[in-house]
Amino acid sequence: MIELSSMDFRIESTCPFSNLFYPTFTKNTITLPVAEYDPHCIKMVIHAISQKSYPIRSISFQGTFIGDAVATNEYDELAVFVSTDIVHFTGMEFGFRLSLKNNLLYGYVQDGKFFKNIRLMNGDGKEHKFYARVYSSNLTQQTNVFFWSMNNKVIGTFTHNGPDYTQAKYYVICTTHRKEAGWSSKGLRLIVKDITINKFH
Q: What is the CATH number of the domain that holds 192?
A: 2.60.120.200
Residue 93 in domain: yes
| Model confidence at 26: pLDDT above 70 | yes
Residue 150 in domain: no
8 Å CB contact between 79 and 110: no
Distance CA(4)–CA(195), nearest Å, equals 5
Confidence of residue 141 (pLDDT cuts 50, 70, 90): low
8 Å CB contact between 57 and 135: yes
Which residue range is the domain that position 78 belongs to?
Answer: 2-131+168-197
Residue 136 in domain: no
| Model confidence at 19: pLDDT above 50 | no
Residue 84 in domain: yes
Structural domain tally of the chain? 1
Q: Which residue has the higher pLDDT, 171 or 14?
A: 171
At 29-48, the pLDDT tens digits run 999 999 888 887 878 888 89
8 Å CB contact between 80 and 192: yes
Residue 12 in domain: yes
Confidence of residue 22 (pLDDT cuts 50, 70, 90): low
Residue 41 in domain: yes
Region of 131 on the Ramachandran plot (φ > 0 left; ψ -120 to 50 alpha; else beta): beta
Tell me the whole-structure pTM to 2 decimals: 0.93
DSSP letters for 67-129: --S--SSTT-EEEEEEES-SSS--S-EEEEEEETTT-EEEEEEE-SS-EEEEEEEE----EEE
Name, in order, each residue with C-beta under 8 angstroms of 73's C-beta and a sequence gap of 6 or more.
101, 179, 180
CA 119, distance to chain mean position in Å, is: 14
Distance CA(41)–CA(129), nearest Å, equals 34
In this predicted structure, what is the pLDDT of residue 90? 92
Residue 158 in domain: no
At 99-114, the pLDDT tens digits run 999 999 999 999 988 9
Residue 54 in domain: yes
